[in-house]
Structure 1
Amino acid sequence: MKMIPIPVKKYLGMAMLSVGLFSCSDMLEVEPSAELDKDRYYQNEFDADAAVIGVYGKLMQFAEQYVVLNEARADLMDATMMADSDIAALNNHSVVASDDNKYADPRTFYEIIVNCNDALEGLEKMRDENRITEDQYVQRYSDLGAVRSWVYLQLGIHFGEVPYVTQSLESIDDVNNPSLSPRLSLPELVDELVKFMETLPYMDPYPNNVSLVGNYDGYDMSKFFVNKRMVLGDLYLWQGSYQLAAENYRYVMETGTRLNGAGDNDYYNRYKMSWSGSTYNVNYDKENDIRTLQNNNSNGWRSMFGRPSNDRDERTEWLWIMHYDSDFAPEYPFVRLFANTGDGEYHLKPSQTILDLWNADEQYNSFEFDARGILSTQNWDTDYPEVGKYTFNYDAISSPLVKNGKWFLERASSIHLKFAEAANRDNAIDELPKLARALVNESLGGAYTPDDFSGDDVTDIQNTLYLPYPYDFDARNGNYPYYRSSWYRHQGIRGRAYLPPRELPEDMEGGEAEREWTEDLIMDELAQELAFEGHRWPQLLRIAMRRNDPSVLADRVYDKMSSSNNPETVGRAPGVRAKLMAGDWFLPFHWEE
């Protein structure tokens, strides 16, 4: 097999030698016995690029573990009767150290982390010896530093207390040596990661003149690399530094504003949940004909998962996405996990919880379901529903062995929901829960237009410019005087899904009750919008810890398990709820040497 489609011939020899002893055989199918002198191969910019590619190649092998851990442990995916024992144990919260559960193996995380540590030291060596320029150094160092921080955050989310290693090691088993690697709790780990991320010298994406980015073999590499502001925002959100989290998310949301002039579509559309073109809207060809829901890879909400790489609209939604191709390693894992035909093994399916949540909503045309349910799944209304987001391009009949696909990591919706979560919890300003709901619901312009408004002058409405940054949005859209402000096309997450806003009960305005109601709205909307994309367990854990209320997590997992069609899962549900209510949220940290 060939490597991931980046200029392979150009980087192949260097990548073999630059990504460290722990990943050479995995990344490029080098024999495990190959003895490599890493110091010989950190010589120039191409070696630096090869080190970066090596880390990301290793990261791509983490996709299956990431999705399974973050979804099977939560409430939106359920194990099928065909699930293997490792997935069933995660689903039933019955993992024990002696099981050697392949998904609950911290070694996979540390293989990426140790690769990062080696590459970071190699980059420093090249910079100190003037083999790469300062700009080349800071761009690549910051990128890999953010990757390492993101992986560490995932590690802490699932294992709670973990060794924190930032230096090269002679052996990966030194990770478990307490004299070399202090163990940090999740809050302590987050604090250390924040300190590190705040020191990174370069926080923007790679510039276009860097050879790592571009279009290779039909794949746009600009979204392949982690967004550093997103990582820092996530860390601040976990830390409880809500304004700082919102500042970093807002910076991402304003990408199009910074890079383009007013009047350019990207200025109004990128990461702003824009109605322009309705590219990713829930649409019907005929308003009142349920059969005409746009449900394909070219049009409507579903198409954000099915469109080809390098599609011109991809950049309006996707912030971080990795493409897999059957002609290149590593293999795409999600056909095996989710498909029930062809080469699929159907280990995981949508839970009854998420199916019920989608079915409990009502669209503007009075259809009594959230269309995102149909558009996120396959065989929605059968006894064997499938997670569809990852397999919309899989053809089990004519090309069962062709398993191309995408790993969905971050997009506009996830950033908006996390911004809303941060704003809602920033107690410095009483009005922020309203702003959070505006982003989730119908639109900024709609939320800040008085019910009794009539006329043309929108100067003093449709905006929050009276609030300090990062909460100052301008969505004014008027003709006399003329306004087409930077957020005037915003339609909200539910608005894009053709769903009316969920209104705050009149007797709940103000105080902690309003913030918790808004937070519950955000949790429900994340479920309906981002189901199966790997965001659920982190969100539930974070909010349970924030509220000091384990029922946030325990009740939702209990509801999933008790509504399963597997009697064993149903029987375990009360015990799992008791376990989670006791704060037993983390997997055993078992290191097999």
Structure 2
Amino acid sequence: MFETESKSVVFDHTLSTANDSLYSALGILGQMQKLSERYVLMGELRGDLMSATEDAVEAIQEVANFNVSPSNTYCDVTDYYSVINNCNYAITYMDTSLVNFDTKEMLPEFAAIKTMRAWTYWQLALLRGDVQWMTEPITDLGQSNAEYPVKTIDELAEMLIEDLVPYIGIRELDYGFIGDYSSQKYFIPLDLLLGDLYLYLNRYDEAAQAYYRYIYNHNVTVTWNYVTRFTSEGNFSSSTFISSYSGEMLCGLPSHEDPTGYHPELIRLAFNFKPSVVPAASFVDSMALKPSFYRLNDGQQGLEAVCVGDQRGQGLTNGGGSTPVSYGVYAEGYDTKTLIAKYMNCAKSHSGSDPQNEYVNGLTYTNIVPLYRNSMVYLRLAEALNRSGRPSLALAVMRYGLRRDVVSGTNMKVNEWELNASYTNFTEDRFNDNRGTMGRGRGFAVDANAEEVNRWIGIPDFTRETVTVQDKDDDGNPLFEEVQATDDDGNLLWEDEAQTIPVMEQKPVMITVGVHTEESMNDSILFVEDLLVDEMAAETAFEGNRFFDLLRVARHRNEFPAYMAERVSRRFGKEGQASKKAELLNPDKWFLK
């Protein structure tokens, strides 16, 4: 399992100073760099958004086709266990009792390393479906040959939660800028990893609480600064959306500063004369057919026109033209290809050239791989909110953004009874800039209360039962109407014998409304969840999340692997979809062994 002579294994059992803990954390971070490319490829090639080409090496084609041989290089888990082993060493020998002015000065590094280990274990479990569990460092050949207990992915999730919860609220690491980014962005946020683990286990309220805690403490918002712009109805102008890949990065795995050091080959694999990975044709087609809702800018209200296409894929015009955004059509002579452009947003250039990729100018390589972004965190929060019985609040993440005028006031956009937990409070000023994620690619008018919009992205009335209740005004006050009084037999009452002056009384204004039963609520949840799955694809395509996204939703629905098989088989075309779907009903096909 391990190369025991590797220089990455530390044998001096002394981690008793702040510098020791600092160098341990940074050293482990350096090892995690090697996991970044696999994070993206293993997360996307087993999803429904990315396909492998004939020019890809056999190992990539095998993963994408779910026919992985034992000799496949991606089955080698040495790099994962190397990180885990070094984490175990630091955790075992770090002296967290050292105090400096009543502060346990090594505890932040200790918590960060525990989180690194948990994240690495989790990625390994998502790759294989199980892990060998070890918490003690391996420093000799005998230990490396020992038998270690195997934990299923479900067992691991429970164990990691138990291991991380005691460190909620511990100060995050900050060593200033290292290279091009603040070092704060290099360490896995504990709350976000906890949220993922809770969400996987269908512990929705705890997941929502973890995501909200991070959002609140870090003032995270989703704005329309990263958006597709139009000059007029249906005519693409420009897009800053692609910049969200790095601009909204909350955490990422950096590459070596030196161009001769380690770098993920994502640009070489995707943005090349002969790409190895490309957008799945089924995904490109579905994005082009999504309805969009045009309004010139976000300072206006209402809907001006319904158009076609989610512009977070590529910018489309009425004349049939297109401009690359996350992906796009590139022409070289008479040859055209649809290439993934997103990775170029996290690129670094250097003098020289890449003989394996003459498509780009000079020597261009990936300098960081984002793991968490603002919009991704909000969409996972929405996933947890939806499954906790708050579908209108989850929908608001996509259509409106969670802010004061959306969740309160006379024109609130959500069901008031859904706002009954601490993690549903978005009334503070820190959330004022929140906007709906859909508005970034499907038009600013996604927030319009128009029939044409609600038909596509509004929750239908799934209620099957009705009840008569008293109507209320916009301020919530009961409504009454003045009517002529009657006696017990229903005869009209008069104040005079001539029956010219009626006896009047105040009578409640009654209306018939739908009642949400468990069945109708589940219909609403499934409707919003379908929107969320598509929205996650549009917002975070090719970033390494898709396998995990589909796996979670399949578990929410108790439909693993059928749900995943249905969606992923679509990228094999009409001719191959049925046979691939049948093949993917085997749970073992989804994990590399």
TM over 0.5: yes
Change (3 A) 1:462 1:360: closer
- Which of the numbers 103, 107, 114 marks the counterpart of 2:78? 107
Distance (Å, rounded) in 2 between the aligned partners of 1:369 and 1:175: 54
- Which of the numbers 421, 427, 441 marks the counterpart of 2:399? 441
Which runs of no fewer than 5 residues in structure 2 stay unpaired? 295-305, 315-324, 350-357, 447-452, 464-515
Q: Is the 8 A contact 1:71 1:536 kept in 2?
A: yes
Distance (Å, rounded) in 2 between the aligned partners of 1:336 and 1:23: 32
Deviations 1:506-526 (A, max 9, x none): 336732222112111111111
1:224 counterpart = 2:186: yes
Distance (Å, rounded) in 2 between the aligned partners of 1:551 and 1:493: 28
Letter in 2 for 1:557: V
Deviations 1:221-265 (A, max 9, x none): 221111110011111111221111100100111134xxxxxxxxx
Distance (Å, rounded) in 2 between the aligned partners of 1:433 and 1:353: 28
1:271 counterpart = 2:244: no
State the percentage of identical aligned residues: 24
Deviations 1:544-578 (A, max 9, x none): 22322132100111101226xxxxxx65x544322
Change (3 A) 1:247 1:22: farther
Distance (Å, rounded) in 2 between the aligned partners of 1:48 and 1:133: 18
Q: Is the 8 A contact 1:379 1:386 kept in 2?
A: yes
1:369 counterpart = 2:309: yes
Which runs of no fewer than 5 residues in structure 1 stay unpaired? 1-19, 28-34, 207-211, 257-269, 295-299, 307-313, 451-457, 476-483, 564-569
Letter in 1 for 2:386: N
Shift of 1:362: 2.8
Distance (Å, rounded) in 2 between the aligned partners of 1:402 and 1:557: 32
Q: Is the 8 A contact 1:339 1:346 kept in 2?
A: yes
Distance (Å, rounded) in 2 between the aligned partners of 1:394 and 1:222: 20
1:547 counterpart = 2:547: no
Shift of 1:162: 2.0
1:384 is aligned to 337
Shift of 1:367: 3.9
Change (3 A) 1:414 1:217: closer
Q: Is the 8 A contact 2:272 2:359 kept in 1?
A: no
Shift of 1:305: 3.3
Equivalence map 1:194-213=2 (5 Å): 194-200=161-167, 202-206=169-173, 212-213=174-175
Distance (Å, rounded) in 2 between the aligned partners of 1:252 and 1:370: 29
2:298 is aligned to none
- Which of the numbers 44, 48, 57 marks the counterpart of 2:30? 57
1:81 aligned counterpart, secondary structure: coil
Change (3 A) 1:412 1:579: same
Q: Is the 8 A contact 1:138 1:202 kept in 2?
A: no
Letter in 1 for 2:434: H
Equivalence map 1:431-470=2 (5 Å): 432-444=390-402, 448=406, 458=409, 461=412, 467-470=419-422
1:364 aligned counterpart, secondary structure: strand
Bigger share in helix: 1
TM-score, normalised with respect to structure 2: 0.75
2:237 is aligned to 292
Distance (Å, rounded) in 2 between the aligned partners of 1:403 and 1:376: 17
Equivalence map 1:22-61=2 (5 Å): 25=7, 37-39=11-13, 42-61=15-34
Distance (Å, rounded) in 2 between the aligned partners of 1:397 and 1:383: 13
- Which of the numbers 153, 157, 179 marks the counterpart of 1:190? 157
Change (3 A) 1:335 1:459: same
Change (3 A) 1:324 1:367: farther
Change (3 A) 1:461 1:397: closer
Change (3 A) 1:585 1:522: farther
TM-score, normalised with respect to structure 1: 0.75
Letter in 2 for 1:197: L
Q: Is the 8 A contact 1:55 1:115 kept in 2?
A: yes
Change (3 A) 1:471 1:586: same
Q: Point out the more displaced range, 144-153 or 403-412.
A: 403-412
1:83 counterpart = 2:41: no
Shift of 1:176: 6.8
Distance (Å, rounded) in 1 between the aligned partners of 2:228 and 2:381: 23
Change (3 A) 1:548 1:485: same
1:262 is aligned to none
Letter in 1 for 2:119: W
1:346 aligned counterpart, secondary structure: coil
2:385 aligned counterpart, secondary structure: helix
1:340 is aligned to 272
- Which of the numbers 229, 251, 267 marks the counterpart of 1:283? 229
Count of aligned pairs between the two proteins: 490
Distance (Å, rounded) in 2 between the aligned partners of 1:43 and 1:448: 51
Change (3 A) 1:92 1:460: closer
Distance (Å, rounded) in 2 between the aligned partners of 1:164 and 1:542: 23
1:305 is aligned to 245
1:143 is aligned to 112
Q: Is the 8 A contact 1:360 1:369 kept in 2?
A: yes
1:14 is aligned to none
Q: Is the 8 A contact 1:44 1:131 kept in 2?
A: no
Change (3 A) 1:463 1:547: closer
Shift of 1:169: 1.4
Q: Is the 8 A contact 1:378 1:388 kept in 2?
A: yes
Letter in 2 for 1:279: N
Bigger share in strand: 2
Q: Is the 8 A contact 1:326 1:402 kept in 2?
A: no
Change (3 A) 1:195 1:449: closer
Q: Is the 8 A contact 1:22 1:115 kept in 2?
A: no
Q: Point out the more displaced range, 87-96 or 386-395.
A: 386-395
Distance (Å, rounded) in 2 between the aligned partners of 1:68 and 1:79: 10
Shift of 1:422: 0.9
Shift of 1:460: 7.7
1:503 is aligned to 458
1:327 is aligned to 258
